[in-house]
Amino acid sequence: MTMEKIRPAIIGILIFALMICGCGSAKVTDKDDEKEAAPAAAVAAQRIDDGRTVVGISMPDRLLERWNRDGIFLKNEFKKADCEVVLSYANNLIDTQIADIREMIAKGADLLVVTAVDGAALSPVLEEASSMGIKIIAYDRLIMETDAVDYYVSFDNYKVGVLQGSYVISKLGLKTSDKPKTIEFVTGDPVDNNARFFYRGAMDTLKPYIESGKLIVPSSQSGFYETSTAQWSTDIAQQRLQIILNSYYPNGAQLDAVLCANDSTALGAARALAADYTGRNNVVVTGQDGDVANIYNILNGSQSMTVYKQLKQESVVTVALGKDIISGNSPSESLIEQSGWDFECSFNTTDYNNGKKVVPSYLLRPIAITADNIQKELFDTGLYVRNSSGLIYAAK
């Protein structure tokens, strides 16, 4: 273990010792917090000489295919780098995620990789971790309202929305058509900071057409909150769109597009359209992630596109970054040059302000997938495979 690593650990132990003696200024608000804090401090003492590198990976839920894959990729990549890994899933519950992180601290974590259930709910536990010298990477979703987060690794979230909006413009021929087209919005979870970026990217792209009257929103629901989907739930997305279809699209009235922020909401939209849409056209439905169920829907025409994000790239960057920061460095642009990755990655120090600081970010490039390029981009590259019975699975 390097001196850079030992020093903050010692400082952390001193602060914790003071807190436990009641001499510190940190508030312990309830009994549970007291119970959890004590073992964390005790195990932190062992961090100095145990010679291990422990990485805690806290994922939001198992409901979405992508977080399962992220968890596996991250775990394997960190293990290859000789780290011990503690991986947990929070069932989309804030309290569970806080308890998971406390357990990681207690197990001697040197690094936390966290995808927040609620971007603004983790400050106290992460500040505790940071004061002990534990490094923190916000994975995919920015962690808000705290100085404790060291870095952010994600895809270019604004670009995701731009790709969805641009697809709608080209598919509906908005640049050339004089006939107004109709659209509805199904956006993401309001406590996930990414959802705002996706929304802004799509809205900034579509706004000129909405303002000029080429694109109409018959439900009048186009704001972020009124179109949001709690927990990115397929069921909630489906119910909301069914209500919209039954209220604003009676008797064959035409809906041209549903801009869905991701694949779980797109599944809900496809189900709502199958159940309650009375028009005769094929409605454009956007998505994001490339979940297998949605790949089938793109092939059968019930979803028009998805924005694909190669999760393995995200874990490769996270592991390289994690290794660098736990050995005491402060990586920047040069990490990208040194690593020689065969994919695009940019270093951003301006756009991801979490309310307390601009978090240095490594951003990857998402790509739009449609029925036209799915074979070339996803199957020919071996990212997805069809087995001998024709079933599709994600291979990488």
In the complex, which residues of this chain contact ligand BGC (CB under 6 A)? 64, 66, 140-141, 192, 194, 232, 262, 288-289
Cβ nearer to ligand BGC, comparing 255 with 269: 269
**From CA 11, how far away is CA 279, in angstroms rounded?**
66
| Structure tokens given for 240 | 């909301």
Q: CB within 8 A of 58, min separation 6: which ones?
A: 88, 90, 97, 100, 101, 104, 112, 113, 114, 115
What Cα–Cα distance (Å) separates residue 342 from each residue in 10, 338, 364? Answer: 39, 12, 12
**Min dist. Cβ of residue 263 to ligand BGC (A):** 6
**From CA 161, how far away is CA 248, in angstroms rounded?**
25
Cβ nearer to ligand BGC, comparing 37 with 59: 59
| Structure tokens given for 21 | 């003696």
Helix orientation angle between 193-211 and 157-171, rounded to the nearest 10 degrees: 30
CB 290 within 8 A of CB 306: yes
**Min dist. Cβ of residue 178 to ligand BGC (A):** 35
Cβ nearer to ligand BGC, comparing 64 with 363: 64
What Cα–Cα distance (Å) separates residue 245 from each residue in 17, 209, 248, 253? Answer: 60, 22, 6, 9
CB 103 within 8 A of CB 117: no
**Min dist. Cβ of residue 367 to ligand BGC (A):** 13
**Min dist. Cβ of residue 85 to ligand BGC (A):** 21
**Min dist. Cβ of residue 370 to ligand BGC (A):** 18
Cβ nearer to ligand BGC, comparing 77 with 118: 118
**Min dist. Cβ of residue 361 to ligand BGC (A):** 13
Alpha-carbon Rg for the chain in angstroms:
23
Cβ nearer to ligand BGC, comparing 194 with 242: 194
Give the sheet arrangement for strand 345-348, strand by strand: 84-89, 54-59, 111-114, 135-139, 151-155, 361-364, 345-348
Amino acid letter, residue 186: V
Cβ nearer to ligand BGC, comparing 128 with 263: 263
Cβ nearer to ligand BGC, comparing 118 with 324: 118
Cβ nearer to ligand BGC, comparing 100 with 140: 140
User: Residues 62, 67, 71, 77: what is their CA dihedral angle, to the nearest 10 degrees?
Assistant: 170
CB 192 within 8 A of CB 152: no
3-state secondary structure of 204: helix
**From CA 204, how far away is CA 299, in angstroms rounded?**
29
CB 83 within 8 A of CB 108: no
Nearest residue to ligand BGC, scored by beta-carbon proximity:
262
**Min dist. Cβ of residue 288 to ligand BGC (A):** 6
**Min dist. Cβ of residue 362 to ligand BGC (A):** 15
Cβ nearer to ligand BGC, comparing 56 with 161: 161
**Min dist. Cβ of residue 157 to ligand BGC (A):** 7
Cβ nearer to ligand BGC, comparing 41 with 74: 74
**Min dist. Cβ of residue 92 to ligand BGC (A):** 9
Amino acid letter, residue 84: E
Q: CB within 8 A of 29, min separation 6: which ones?
A: none
**Min dist. Cβ of residue 167 to ligand BGC (A):** 17
Cβ nearer to ligand BGC, comparing 123 with 310: 310
